A and B are shown apart, each in its own frame.
Chain A
Amino acid sequence: MTAYADLILLAVLLLGVYVLATSRLGAAIRAVAVQGGLLALLPITLAARTSWDALLHVGLLSLGTLLLKAVIIPGLLLRTMRTANVRREVEPFISLHTSVLIGAVMVGVAFWMGSVLTLPRPAPATLLVPVALATLLLGFLVIVSRRKAITQVLGYLMLENGIYVFGQCLARDMPFVVELGILLDVLVGVFVMGIAIHHISREFDNIDTDELSTLRD
């Protein structure tokens, strides 16, 4: 099954780069949704467990991930995009070409780091650590290089996705309650951010974070 895992990870990585490259906000949100859906499959492909108990655990976790990362959160973001009357372009600080180039360098760095870092126990899939680091870095890039509040939330979600991939290295040891707690935190976080975006768009007529720069010394 781990061959499938590497395939999924590759797709996750490509979707991450696609978010950098696309100029349309809706497409970026959908790409992150698909990324979340793929991540939900990841624990299933990596499961080498035999007991029903463990299978139930994996199944529930996958279901939870699918619902939150692929359905509810992207749905909230798309709704925010419509209700807050956001312009449909991404509006980066740097051009899309440049950000894809920087992203490519980051992917290279992530793969290099993945080959240098040796896990005490071999990772369940070869691409796991490099793709986790790459997704994380791409998420950072989206946060700092995009003007709109909603795109920054998208970057935060990619960052979380990268950490989620990394978490698969220790899925064995993480109790269910905690995993669910982490997912829930992300959901509520996006929910609260969505409300904030709504208020920002009402106050400022748009949600460019450029406007949010009056507080300083």
Chain B
Amino acid sequence: MLLALVIFLPALLGALAWLMRDLRQQLWLLVGTASAHLALTASFWLFRPSSVGFFLSLDALGLLFLSLMSALFLAASIYSVSYLRAHAEDDVAIDRYVPFLLWFLAAMTLVTVTQHLALMWAAVEATTLASAPLIYFHRRRAALEAAWKYLLICSVGIALALLGTFFLGIAASAVEPTPPLVLGALAASGKSLALPWLKAAFVLAIVGYGTKMGLAPLHTWLPDAHSQAPSPVSALLSGALLNCALLGILRFYQVCTAAGADAFARTLLLTLGFVSLGVAAALIVGQRDYKRLLAYSSVENMGIIAAGIGVGGAATFGAMLHAVNHSLTKAGLFFLAGNLLQTYGTTRAAEVRGAARRLPMTGALLVLAMLAIGGSPPFGPFVSEYLIFVKAFEANGWLGGLFAALLAIAFLGMAGVLLPMAQGKPADDGQKPEREPLSSIAPSLALLAAVLVLGVWIPPFLSDLLKQAAGLLGG
């Protein structure tokens, strides 16, 4: 029943927040719910909750993504406090923010705690619907355009994933008695599933959920949505939602592995992973908008994860670790971008100069986070990218070389945009450093500290879970 609680808690409190009119109360509710959600999730590490029917059950993969999401959500909630207070006077949908954010959490939670593939589909679609109003938080034309693109492109993509889910059902109908669309039952049928339908199902799933995950060439909504959404929402879209879509693909991958179609599935993942890496690297270089830059960096990192799973073997562990590293770092970066946006009032990189002097903490953290996401030691992403690189290189020298080259291009591109923003010469020299509220700095500071720790030492409880998760994916 605990699994049901962790979904219904944010869903019901979201409804409560809808009725509240006072922003202070709403914010207390938000942070309180986020803390309770995280506490519940943490308790799952000690006692794995029992399944509810065949609808809800939690395995290592689910727990990994659930924990990641829950931690990021708390960080985003705390950051939202200063963000919303700063925007309280603007023309924004302020009293709708907290309810939709909580419903967004509920939908994402459902994605991670179910192994029923049709129910998971419904949950992924629900994440789109809960987050679209959040993207249109700032009542601007551009935000509306971004929200519309997000709604339509993701809904159509997700519709294809539903067709893929039905194809999976057809593949299962070759088995007598037909297993339900639950991961365990499908995997147990293994090789007796109808293989052509299974392969077609995987293709549809990778296209459908891949749209939502931001795999190129289906990523077109992502830079728009990330650049227009409020920064805490961008952080959640990038750090938590993309992982949920990834989980959708991984569930299909698990069925493919059980049916002996894993080589086919890995080739597809590898190809799309490298396409994403290439497209993102090309668009990062010379990018003028720093929030779009971060969005393209997400496309790049999703490519790295897909490629890591595609390489297979020990690289699967690397891919899981990279999912953790990317989420933590990217969320931190979006919070920092939010601070810059509030001070400078623009997302154009060329107009932000000398942030290290005007916002000392934000500027310093920005440089560190940029180094981290670019994959330089001693931060976590270096370790995970290195693990994937080594395995890719062992599999095929050219592949490894291409991987390293694309990462290097993306790193230089990011540095070329972000460093002048932090360092550079401020437009107005006489400006004093501005006050930076604790709740706008603490979340990114905590996340970056975690990324730093992961770069030098992976705690045993985490590496155990990562190994279990990779084991589920045949790694």
Chain A residues in contact with chain B, CB under 8 A?
119-121, 136, 140, 143, 149, 152, 156, 159-160, 163, 166-167, 169-170, 172-175, 177-178, 181-182, 184-185, 188-189, 192-193, 196, 199-200, 203-204, 209, 212-215, 217
Contact = CB atoms under 8 A, between A and B. Distances in A.
Contacts of B142: 214-215
A204 B144 CA distance: 10
Nearest to B168: A170
Given A163-B159, A182-B122, A196-B136, A209 B148 contact: yes
B71 to A, nearest CB: 27
B166 A163 contact: yes
Given A166-B166, A173-B181, A174-B118, A215 B145 contact: yes
Given A119-B173, A178-B119, A159 B136 contact: no
The bracket for how many chain B residues form the interface is 35 or more
A163 B169 CA distance: 13
A120 B121 contact: no
B156 A156 contact: yes
A214 B173 contact: no
A192 B151 contact: yes
Contacts of A177: 55, 119
Contacts of A149: 148
Interface in B270-305: 283, 287-289, 292
Contacts of A173: 169, 172-173, 178, 180-181
A209 B159 CA distance: 21
Given A192-B132, A217-B292, A199 B152 contact: no
B180 A175 contact: yes
A149 B122 CA distance: 23
B166 A167 contact: yes
Dominant secondary structure at the B interface = helix
B152 to A, nearest CB: 6
B147 interface: yes
A214 B144 CA distance: 11
B144 A199 contact: yes
A166 B144 CA distance: 33
Contact of A169 (B170, B174, B180): B170
A215 B224 contact: yes
Nearest to A178: B118
Given A163-B159, A181-B119, A196 B178 contact: no
A199 B136 contact: yes
Interface centre among A173, A177, A188, A204 (most CB of B within 10 A): A173
Contacts of A182: 118, 121-122, 162
B228 interface: yes
A87 B79 CA distance: 43
Interface in B60-119: 116, 118-119
A113 to B, nearest CB: 11
